[in-house]
Amino acid sequence: MTLHNFIGGAPAPAASGQTFDNPNPATGQRLAKVARSGPADVDAAAQAARRAFEGPWRGWSANQRADLLDRIADAIEARLDELAALESADQGKPVSLAATVDIPRAVANFRFFAGAARHQQLPSHPMAQALNYTARRPVGVFGLITPWNLPLYLLTWKTAPALAMGNTVVAKPSELTPMTAGALAEIIHGCGAPEGVFNVVHGFGAEAGQALVAHPGVKGISFTGGTVTGQRVAATAAPMFKKLSLELGGKNATVIFADADLDRAIATAGAAAFRNQGEICLCGSRILVERPVYDRVLMGLTEYASSLTVGPPDHPDTTIGSLVSLDHRAKVEGYVALAREEGGTVHCGGTRPALPAPYDQGAFLSPAVVSGLPISCRTATEEIFGPVVTVHPFDTEAEALEMANGVRYGLSASVWTNNLRRGHRFSEALDVGMVWVNTWMLRDLRVPFGGVKDSGVGREGGDWSLEFYSENKNICIHLG
Ligand code: TXE
């Protein structure tokens, strides 16, 4: 199978005619050949998106767009099993996870932003002699650049509000996980979107991604990916005054105080470390534990990690699938080796499980729990983005705070305590964009999502998304 671009309402091969191989990371077998696009393809897609923006799409009311989003949600839901299987084969995650998290969340993204757009409330500021009211206008063509860890989940998180606000889209999915973006393009157009409203250009970051960020007809960029890539994206987009949202890496702390409900804390800290093979920006990859309960938590986490089933992603009992690629596994294995060099003890995992063919060719790695590392070492401060967690003791709340805040990232944190005052106090003092107390990754789509420091710029979610994917315009009417 060849996965083409999707431009102006129809599949289109790359202008160069080139393709690249997209393997299933769990088996090494080729899933598809994929269009290898460059600036010419990006230009064709941006022009198609511009024509749609200035043409038929402009005449659609907010309610018509919301109705379209609801139809898209229904269509994704109707194909849930097929899309979950495709996402799992492309990414390596357990199909059970894709079927219960990734694809349902894609449905929820469209339903949520249909409702949010319908129920928007815009401010008015009356004066004695005039009335100001604020309108929100679409920006134009948005470039949406997405990573490989949650492919459809994150693409729909950006696409739904972009379309709800009347923009058109050129999406550049990760070259490692392009499959469900192709399916989404067909679904959106099958639901009645005018041609050119949603376009997909496949290819590598340096070729297709860079061309999309640099294209003068693309007025806004929403990017989720690595921090180094985010710097490049910002360096290109900022001088062109594009609207820019950057959701980058994380090295999130799970902080467990001795008074916490420890059974729940351990199970949730384990899930936060290893869900989706640890390939989620919100994963808690550093676990800080108050010393009196340190041994118990370390043992509990080791038991938790050892109880996970690493295996074929399409098997219903599998809880840890394949990492996204052999290259990425090599990077994660490099961190396990580094942890040992830095003086850490690996209590479990960090090894390749013995699996039958064809899975013996896959990028599997068993989940690793590491202790004994200084909090400032590389393993404990750099984003690994795999199934490796480090565990560190602390003695005082002030020390825990210093440890939690002592990294370049500031995305999220999970704090475990039954002391309400401490829960508040500690959450307020954390240098992050999102804090969960006595839970993790409990998401309400109305709340702001994003990080501080090297974890990114801007917020998406709820009204923050509607704001980002639009321009506020004030209109002042004299009443005389
Ligand atoms: O991501 P990239 P990579 C972190 C994680 C991971 C590391 C590197 O630590 O190990 O980043 O991953 C496109 N202009 N996260 O290299 O390159 C690229 O094609 C425009 C955290 O795979 O950032 C893809 O579509 N676009 C993260 C997207 O950027 C460019 C999720 C992300 O890829 C580009 C993923 C360029 N110059 C990785 N270069 C999270 N925050 O969840 C690449 N791209």
Is 281 noted as a catalytic residue in this protein?
yes
Residue 276 confidence class, pLDDT cut points 50, 70, 90: very high
Q: What is the mean pLDDT of residues 238-249?
A: 97
- Which band of pLDDT confidence, cut at 50, 70 and 90, is reported for residue 133? very high
Q: 249 near 472, Cβ under 8 Å?
A: no
Q: Mean pLDDT, the chain, as a whole number?
A: 98
CATH architecture of residue range(s) 252-444: 3-Layer(aba) Sandwich (3.40)
Q: Where are the domains of the chain?
A: 2-248+455-477, 252-444
User: Ligand 1 within 6 A of 302 CB?
Assistant: no
Strand partners, 471: 137
Q: Is 248 in the pocket of ligand 1 (CB under 6 A)?
A: yes
- Residue positions counted in the chain: 480
What would the mean pLDDT of 115-127 be, rounded to a whole number? 96
Q: Please work out whether the CB of residue 333 comes within 6 Å of at least one atom of ligand 1.
A: no
Burial class for 338, CB neighbours closer than 10 Å (0-12, 13-18, 19+) = middle
Percent of the chain clearing pLDDT 70 (strictly above): 100
Q: Which of 215, 211, 90, 94 is nearest to 155 (CA)?
A: 90
Question: d(Cα 164, Cα 193) in Å, to the nearest integer?
Answer: 12
For strands 368-371 and 252-256, give the pairing.
unpaired
Cis peptide before 356 (omega within 30 of 0): no
Sheet (strand 19-23) strand order? 2-3, 30-35, 19-23
Q: Rounded distance, CA 292 to CA 285, Å? A: 21
Residue located via tokens 């009311």: 61
Which residues share a beta bridge with 143?
Answer: 170, 221
162-189 pLDDT tens trace: 999 999 999 999 999 999 999 999 999 9
Q: Please choose from 22, 155, 204, 229 the residue to mutate so as to test ligand 1's pocket, defined by most ligand atoms within 8 A of CB.
A: 229
Cβ–ligand 1 contact at 284 (below 6 Å): no
Q: What is the pLDDT of residues 6-62, one digit of tens each?
A: 999 999 999 999 999 999 999 999 999 999 999 999 999 999 999 999 999 999 999
Q: Give φ, ψ of 220 to 5 degrees.
A: -150, 150
From the options 3.90.740.10, 3.30.980.20, 3.40.605.10, 3.30.559.10, give the CATH code of 2-248+455-477. Answer: 3.40.605.10
Interval 71-80: pLDDT, tens: 999 999 999 9
Is the model's pTM score more than 0.95? Answer: yes
Q: Which residues contact 452 (CB under 8 A, 6 or more apart)?
A: 410, 431, 432, 433
Q: Supply the pLDDT for residue 372.
A: 98
Confidence at residue 248, expressed as pLDDT on a 0 to 100 scale? 97
Q: Please report the pLDDT score of residue 143 as a whole number.
A: 99
Residue 213 identity: V
